A and B are shown apart, each in its own frame.
Chain A
Amino acid sequence: MKFSQGVKMSLTSLFSNRMRSFLTMLGIIIGITSVIVMVAIGQGSAKQVTDAIQRMGTNMLTVNITSSSSTRLTEEEISQLKNEPSIASLAPQVSGNATVKNGVNNDSASIIGTTPDYESVRDVHAAYGRFITQDDIDNRYKLCDVGIEVLQNIFPDIQAENYESLIGKNIMVNGTPVMIVGILESKGTSTAGSNDNQLIMPLSSAKKLLKNTTISTYFVEAASSTSVDAATYTLNQLLLSKYNNDSTQFRVLSQSEMISARNETANTLTLMLAGIAAISLVVGGIGIMNIMLVSVVERTREIGVRKAIGAKRRDILLQFLIEAVFLSCTGGIVGVILGVFICVLLPNITSVAVQMQPQIMMLAFTFSAGVGIVFGFYPAGKASRLSPIDALRYE
């Protein structure tokens, strides 16, 4: 028998049982669709995180101090580090949450106490007014640069284009009046939360306001992307000598390290989602095997007739195998189309980020074809081994 004849034969029998064929395919369709959508969601959220980290600048290093001791970088050490050729600038940060109030309107915002270097290190700028200065720190002035989300919450009546008029106004932060000196440019939202729901204050006054004098984070800007490693080395050397060679007391993280750490988490997530989806694909394959087994029993006489008039084992095997593979491949194609459709639709109706991956689609489709072969082989083999005499006698 020619292969094309086998295909024709199989299609005839599948089309004469349309409803059953469709229901059998449904398992594979759902499996493939969920693989594609799940992986796209996993990769989409990974990309969101990576993008957020990259937006902070590739030259940035983060120094996290985990030590419980009160030892921190001194003023001299900070200015000494700033003079290092590999380091462009360095900004310490104290942070905490506070209630921000204007009259009856209030908002819970994050307070960042820092130095003027923060502006270049984190790439945050004042859209109106000015950024905090060294003078503000030295004099412990209670003033701030404020993010627009805070303004939206506490000045709901004022339009965004009139925010400039708010400069010079006092707002209450944890019950203390603080003067607005600048309005921050919008930075958008990342997975870590809103970047616009924050106040930036001089380090000295923020420490007092938050009743928190320990600096847990330093942001360091390397001179260029090629001097990141040198800056990391310098920081590590200094911190090691400060903390008696105990490297568990602090951590110096470059952007690439942060990205790879986040990616690892995202990949685990993707793998888990793909795993769940793959299980549904296998279940779909078992569905195909089940229906094919029923079909073989149902068509015992047909198999007997075909064998009597000259079908070889291979011909019968091929006929049933093609049926199974056709079911799973068509299911695969429909599943890919449906998956792409959902991936296109999803960001439009929800806030879920998706990233489609052509390799995953190819892989999912190939897998579905494989499922057809693997799960079709047993029923097809069973059909091909039937004895023509017994099969013809079957009622």
Chain B
Amino acid sequence: MPIIEISNLFKTYQLGGNTVHALDDVTMQVDDNEFVAIVGPSGSGKSTLMNIVGCLDISTAGSYKLLDREISSYNDNELAEFRNKTIGFIFQRFNLLNRLTAIDNVELPLIYQGISTSERRERAVEALKAVGLEDRMHHRPMELSGGQQQRVAIARALITKPSLILADEPTGNLDSHTGEEVLDILRNLHHSGNTIMLITHDMRIAHIAKRILTIHDGRIKEYKEGEQ
């Protein structure tokens, strides 16, 4: 069953009088429990695609359905609520809040769901255990290594039990060893039944995914078919 259905999607920007086609007639599907990588150089439109898939932005034309809902017609608040419940973000720069401890950072998405303190704590501890950071719960991001920060960010993405995990260059700010560790975590997440979309410019990293799509000048191509 597909959880992402994109058909004839366009995104255009006006840039200094020129019209830029960041996405040009994109059609694709992602099934439940798939691990798919989107690969493309900078300026290829992969960030735009990620923003739209991540419900951070809406398309100029075409249809984007996530979990059978048409996202293109959502307003700001509906997008925020939908992001909160269905998408877990993992960013290149971790994007943790420096003033908060690891556990407070992990809890954050649940705060916006209005979940009680005790339940939040319980679930945050569980998520941190899943990434092996239960002994670093009360440290602030500055007191953690890059790899540990990214694992906190993964715990934050997991805590809402999202239908889709979006990882945008998750190893971009890490050395190759800790990068491997993070990719291992993603692999394990996939094995335990999560749908993951990995966005990267690096084909070697993309190969941990079962299926690879390339993007060039806003057009998407199948590169490696996933086994169904």
Q: Which residues of A contact B (CB under 8 A)?
A: 1-2, 5, 9, 12-13, 16, 301-302, 304-315, 388-389, 392
- A87 and B89 CA atoms in complex are apart in Å by 93
**Is A309 in contact with B51, judged by CB distance below 8 angstroms?**
no
**Is B112 in contact with A1, judged by CB distance below 8 angstroms?**
yes
- A392 and B83 CA atoms in complex are apart in Å by 15
**Is B156 in contact with A309, judged by CB distance below 8 angstroms?**
yes
**Is B109 in contact with A310, judged by CB distance below 8 angstroms?**
yes
- A309 and B157 CA atoms in complex are apart in Å by 8
Partner among B54, B56, B57, B112 whose Cβ is within 8 Å of the Cβ of A311: B112
**Is A13 in contact with B81, judged by CB distance below 8 angstroms?**
no
Interface positions of B from 38 to 57, Cβ below 8 Å from A: 51, 54, 56-57
Q: Mark B103-127, 1 if CB is under 8 A from A, else 0.
A: 0000011011110000000000000
Partner among B76, B84, B114 whose Cβ is within 8 Å of the Cβ of A2: B114
Question: For the complex, is B77 an interface residue (Cβ under 8 Å from A)?
Answer: yes
Question: For the complex, is B100 an interface residue (Cβ under 8 Å from A)?
Answer: yes
Question: For the complex, is B99 an interface residue (Cβ under 8 Å from A)?
Answer: yes
**Is B81 in contact with A312, judged by CB distance below 8 angstroms?**
yes
**Is B80 in contact with A311, judged by CB distance below 8 angstroms?**
yes
- A1 and B83 CA atoms in complex are apart in Å by 14
Q: Which residues of B contact A313 (CB under 8 A)?
A: 76-77, 80
**Is B99 in contact with A13, judged by CB distance below 8 angstroms?**
yes
- A315 and B159 CA atoms in complex are apart in Å by 20
Interface positions of B from 46 to 102, Cβ below 8 Å from A: 51, 54, 56-57, 76-77, 80-81, 83-85, 89, 91, 95-97, 99-100
**Is A312 in contact with B112, judged by CB distance below 8 angstroms?**
yes
**Is A312 in contact with B99, judged by CB distance below 8 angstroms?**
no
**Is B81 in contact with A16, judged by CB distance below 8 angstroms?**
no
Q: Which residues of B contact A312 (CB under 8 A)?
A: 76-77, 80-81, 112
Partner among B51, B56, B97, B109 whose Cβ is within 8 Å of the Cβ of A302: B97
Partner among B81, B91, B100 whose Cβ is within 8 Å of the Cβ of A310: B81
Q: Beyond A306-B108, A310-B113, A314-B77, is A389–B51 a contact (Cβ under 8 Å)?
A: yes
Q: Which residues of A contact B83 (CB under 8 A)?
A: 308-310
Q: Which residue of A lies closest to B57 (CB)?
A: A389
Q: Which residues of B contact A311 (CB under 8 A)?
A: 80, 84, 112
**Is B56 in contact with A309, judged by CB distance below 8 angstroms?**
no
A307 to B: closest C-beta gap in Å: 7
**Is B95 in contact with A392, judged by CB distance below 8 angstroms?**
yes
Partner among A16, A302, A310 whose Cβ is within 8 Å of the Cβ of B80: A310
A23 to B: closest C-beta gap in Å: 19
Q: How many residue pairs between the two chains, A and B, have CB atoms under 8 Å in the bound complex? A: 61
**Is B56 in contact with A308, judged by CB distance below 8 angstroms?**
yes
8 A–B contact pairs at CB < 8 A?
A304-B95, A305-B96, A306-B108, A309-B109, A310-B109, A311-B112, A389-B57, A392-B95
Q: Which residues of A contact B76 (CB under 8 A)?
A: 312-313
- A146 and B76 CA atoms in complex are apart in Å by 86
Interface on chain A toward B: helix, strand, loop, or mixed SS?
helix
- A304 and B84 CA atoms in complex are apart in Å by 13
- A258 and B162 CA atoms in complex are apart in Å by 79
**Is A310 in contact with B112, judged by CB distance below 8 angstroms?**
yes
- A358 and B44 CA atoms in complex are apart in Å by 67
Partner among A2, A12, A315 whose Cβ is within 8 Å of the Cβ of B100: A12
Q: Beyond A310-B112, A313-B77, is A305–B97 a contact (Cβ under 8 Å)?
A: yes
B203 to A: closest C-beta gap in Å: 25
- A392 and B54 CA atoms in complex are apart in Å by 13
- A311 and B113 CA atoms in complex are apart in Å by 9
Q: Beyond A1-B112, A1-B114, A2-B114, is A307–B80 a contact (Cβ under 8 Å)?
A: yes
Q: Which residue of A lies closest to B109 (CB)?
A: A309
Task: Contacts A1-B112, A313-B76 known; list 14 others, CB within 8 Å.
Answer: A2-B114, A12-B100, A305-B95, A306-B108, A306-B112, A309-B109, A310-B81, A310-B84, A312-B112, A313-B80, A314-B77, A389-B51, A389-B56, A389-B57
Q: Which residues of B contact A5 (CB under 8 A)?
A: 111, 114
Q: Which residue of B lies closest to A17 (CB)?
A: B99
A320 to B: closest C-beta gap in Å: 15
**Is A301 in contact with B56, judged by CB distance below 8 angstroms?**
no
A130 to B: closest C-beta gap in Å: 84
**Is B56 in contact with A310, judged by CB distance below 8 angstroms?**
no
**Is A12 in contact with B99, judged by CB distance below 8 angstroms?**
yes
Q: Which residues of A contact B112 (CB under 8 A)?
A: 1, 306, 309-312, 315
A222 to B: closest C-beta gap in Å: 72
- A310 and B83 CA atoms in complex are apart in Å by 6
Q: Which residue of B lies closest to A15 (CB)?
A: B99
- A392 and B160 CA atoms in complex are apart in Å by 21
- A306 and B114 CA atoms in complex are apart in Å by 14
Q: Which residues of A contact B111 (CB under 8 A)?
A: 1-2, 5, 9
Q: Which residues of A contact B56 (CB under 8 A)?
A: 308, 388-389
B91 to A: closest C-beta gap in Å: 7
Q: Which residue of A lies closest to B85 (CB)?
A: A310
Q: Which residues of A contact B160 (CB under 8 A)?
A: 310
A95 to B: closest C-beta gap in Å: 74
**Is A309 in contact with B97, judged by CB distance below 8 angstroms?**
no
Q: Which residues of A contact B80 (CB under 8 A)?
A: 307, 310-313
A24 to B: closest C-beta gap in Å: 18
Q: Beyond A310-B81, A310-B84, A313-B77, is A301–B95 a contact (Cβ under 8 Å)?
A: yes
Q: Which residue of A lies closest to B100 (CB)?
A: A12
Q: Which of A301, A306, A314, A315 has the most CB of B within 10 A?
A: A306
- A13 and B97 CA atoms in complex are apart in Å by 11
Q: Which 3 A/B pairs are nearest by Cβ-Cβ distance?
A: A310-B84, A310-B112, A312-B80
- A12 and B85 CA atoms in complex are apart in Å by 25
Q: Which residues of B contact A308 (CB under 8 A)?
A: 54, 56, 83, 89, 95
